[in-house]
Structure 1
Amino acid sequence: MTEIRINAGKAERIITQMLRDEQGVHPADAVALAAGICRRLAMAMPTNPSLGCCRIISKEPPDADDFAIAVAEKLNGKSERWNASELWELVYNQGRHLRMS
């Protein structure tokens, strides 16, 4: 299902303008109708909590040695041990700001 996100005030203005221009509704009536439509749409929106507070990764990095070596190889082409826990902590702490798609 496609999700549409639009500011309620902007939606109300668009609907009001459509009612006036396309249906010939009196301006005051168009405003009232648009407000009612927007109110109903807002009430119909799901109230499930967002996934913004969910974590899908562990706080601890996977097998610290293997992870540290893999990170070092990617970052500087060397296989020396590197303190990858700092990178993992950064990913963990900032992960909630990443897009879901």
Structure 2
Amino acid sequence: MTPVHFAFAGLVFAGFAALWRLLIGPTLADRIIALDLALIALMAGIAIDGANREDTTWLNLLIVIAIIGFTATVATTRFMEHKGPIDAPDEAESAS
């Protein structure tokens, strides 16, 4: 087996671990982290495959996945922080 096969085996394991946490994770934070792990494993798999083939075709896809993953994480953590719509005023602001 080549090192690429070991890398893909590790990424498959990480993907299954993320799927497991996504399905049974008791909190929303666990599910957010699981989705981040799944996206990172997917991105690493694409990067390793591209490096193995010496092909840069998929680099744009990696950038798009990274931007979408970061934006989704920030949006959901902000939602968790406020426990409601993002544009809802804070309780401290409405009391004054």
> Same fold per TM (> 0.5)?
no
- Which has the larger Rg? 1
The structure with the greater share of residues assigned to helix is: 2
TM-score normalized with structure 1 length: 0.30
